[in-house]
Structure formats: structure tokens, C-alpha cells
Amino acid sequence: MTRRSHIPLHEAFATARAAGGHAPSVLGSRPWIIGGGGDRITLGADPDKRLDVADPLAREPVLSCGAALYGIRVALRALGVRPEVRTLPDPDRPALLAEITSAGEADPGSTDRRLYAAIERRRTHRGLFERALSDGAVLRGLGDAAALEGAALRQVTDPDRVRSLSGLVTAAEHLHRVERPGTEEQDRWVRAQGDPRAEGVHAEDFPAPGAGAPVFPERDYGRVTGLREARGTEIGTVALLTTASDDRAAHLAAGQALHRVLLTAADAGYAAAFHTQPLEEPLLRAFITERFCAGEHPQMLLRLGRPAPEDRVDQGPDDLPGGVSGIA
Ligand SMILES: Cc1cc2nc3c(=O)[nH]c(=O)nc-3n(C[C@H](O)[C@H](O)[C@H](O)COP(=O)(O)O)c2cc1C
């Protein structure tokens, strides 16, 4: 059968598998196993990528897998396939997070195509921005993107509350530096300049010491030194991504919402920086739940803004089979 995008079904699925692998993930660990064949995709959690010290309940790896799931879904839609998604399909196989098949043809809208095209351009930002995201229409679009995936994006506008959140990030980061040295869990994902492995956080991706944001400290990627120069002057627009419940299904939904928000932002020329350190501390997370999220569960803490021109990604890797340009 020929798809509306003129790509055979099995090629659309192969392209979607590759698109899933471009999702953001905690420490760049890519904690998913994307399998299946023909016109079926399976998405599983990789047991070798667990973060037993930072995240014993595996919230962040599951959230990362949710982001991969959104990449798969939007790719299929952009390629003319209506995805049928069964999440957590087998209680006896808890590591199997989703199964994706075809529910027939879809007429890809321009939004599907634009979000798919943004997959290769989206990158995590670290450090300051050239300017904050203050465009009301774009912010509303990000809120809608989160809501469509069953989550909420809560902007924190009061400067005192922004300072309080920054203080919680600082507290968590200090705790981790004192309490986690010698755990090789995070070091495992820190990559020196030129390291060819795609997984992990590379020296090229994070600021040199002293060049990051003066508030909202970066994670300690300290085994190697970051290479990014200090650029920009703005912290950006601070927001929390939240969900009403806090089980695996909610974490999977939060990941899909995160990726949809990030692609919507990238499409409009904005990027996000993340500071999830306090969400790895149960007491700090409970405090943020109550005081910043009206009892909803915080899944991600973000800063959103427009990166300086040198930090923008105009063109990403071109390894998505079927090529974005072919369907745009
Ligand atoms: C659940 C989750 C938590 C993250 N936490 C942080 C964080 O605390 N600090 C940070 O700089 N990046 C964080 N990131 C971003 C990842 O490090 C980033 O996605 C990964 O290195 C891949 O790079 P890319 O997003 O540019 O493709 C997080 C991403 C996810 C999905």
C-alpha cells in the first residue's frame, strides 16, 4: 500500500523508529529499546540505563521513553500513518512501555509536518539565553501542546518565586555534589570533547566553569570541563511541567508532553534548559508539588528562551531515513 507521503508503510515505520531515537533523555542516556519490525514498533525501557542512585523509581528514564514515543507518533503522522498506541500493554512485562501499530492512513496536517521537521533542530540549551520566551501566542501554544498530552505547563512569573525555585535547584545540586561523589552513575554519561559515542552529555554541550547561568546551576558534569562560552544574559521563562497523577502512565504521558512542548518551541525558534536536580530529592519534590504546582506532580523544571545565534541549531544530523525535506 502506498502512503499519502509516497513512503511504503514499512519505510514509514523504519523512519519513525529512527525519529524516536532523537528524543531528549536524562543524561543523554537514551534509556529506550526501540524494536519491532515491519509495521509494528515496540518501545521498552533499557534495564542497563537505570539510575538507581538518582532516580530509584525510574521516573526520568520512563519520562525519556515517553519523549521517544512522541517522536515516533509525530513521525508516523507526518508520514501519513495514523498510529495506534497501546501503552503499558502487558502487566507481566513492565519494561514494555508501548506498542505502536497502524490504524490506517492519516492526512498529515501542517502542524504534524512542522513538529516532525523540528525533531532534528531541537537541542537542550545550557546557560543563559539571548532573550526569554515572552511571546503570548507561543506560550499559549506550548500550554496547549502539554494539555493535549495530558499534562500542564505552569509558568512561574513572580520574580520571588523564580528565585525560590532557583534556590531549590542550588540546594539539590549542592546535596548531590556532597552526597553522590564516587557514584559513577552520572560520570558514566559525561563525555570528553570529541568522544564519538552518541549517548551522554558531551563537553561541547555544556558551559565552561563560570560560563553557565549564575542562578539555576547546571548539573555537575565535572569529570570533564565544558567548552561552551558564556553567551546571552537572560535566565529565560521558568516553567514546570506537571501531571495530575504520578505513576508510570503519568511519567510516560509527561515525556510525550515534554517532547511536544519542546518541538513546538523549536518550531518557533526557542529552546529549553532543564534543571531536574530538585525533582530527584523526594522532600524537595514534595515541597515543589505543594507550593508551586497546586498539588499536581512536577515532572520537569524548564527555562525557555531564544538562544544566542552561535547556540542555535539550524541543521541537525540528517540520519532520519526518508528525510524530513522529502515530506515538508
Ligand atoms: C527526564 C530528563 C531530565 C533531564 N535533566 C536535565 C538536567 O537536569 N540538566 C540538563 O542540563 N539537562 C537535562 N536533561 C536534558 C538531557 O541532558 C538531554 O536531553 C540529553 O543530553 C540529549 O541532548 P539533546 O536534548 O540536546 O538531544 C534532561 C532530559 C530529560 C528527558
Specify the pLDDT at position 317.
41
CA nearest ligand 1 atom 12, residue? 274
Out of 28-32, 156-160, 222-226, least confident range: 222-226
Sheet strands side by side (includes 96-105): 32-35, 40-45, 96-105, 81-87
**DSSP conformational letter for 311:** G
Rounded-to-integer distance, Cα 170 and Cα 294, Å: 22
Share of the chain above pLDDT 70, in %: 93
Residue 64 in contact with ligand 1 by CB distance below 6 A: yes
Specify the pLDDT at position 142.
98
Distance 25 CA to ligand 1 centre (A): 5
Residue 299 in contact with ligand 1 by CB distance below 6 A: no
Report whether pLDDT(323) > 60: no
Report whether pLDDT(54) > 60: yes
**DSSP conformational letter for 207:** B
Distance 60 CA to ligand 1 centre (A): 10
Average pLDDT value for the chain: 91
Report whether pLDDT(318) > 50: no
Query: Has domain 9-121 been given CATH number 3.40.109.10?
Result: yes
Residue 100 contacts residue 44 (beta carbons within 8 Å): no
Out of 3-7, 33-37, 150-154, 198-202, least confident range: 3-7
Domain ranges of the chain: 9-121, 131-311
Strands 40-45 and 81-87: what pairing? unpaired
Residue 63 in contact with ligand 1 by CB distance below 6 A: yes
CATH of segment(s) 131-311: 3.40.109.10
Residues with Cβ < 8 Å from 74, sequence gap 6 or more? 19, 112, 115, 116, 119, 260, 263
Out of 124-133, 180-189, 210-219, 319-328, least confident range: 319-328
Residue 199 contacts residue 193 (beta carbons within 8 Å): no
Same fold? 9-121, 131-311: yes
Residue 59 in contact with ligand 1 by CB distance below 6 A: no
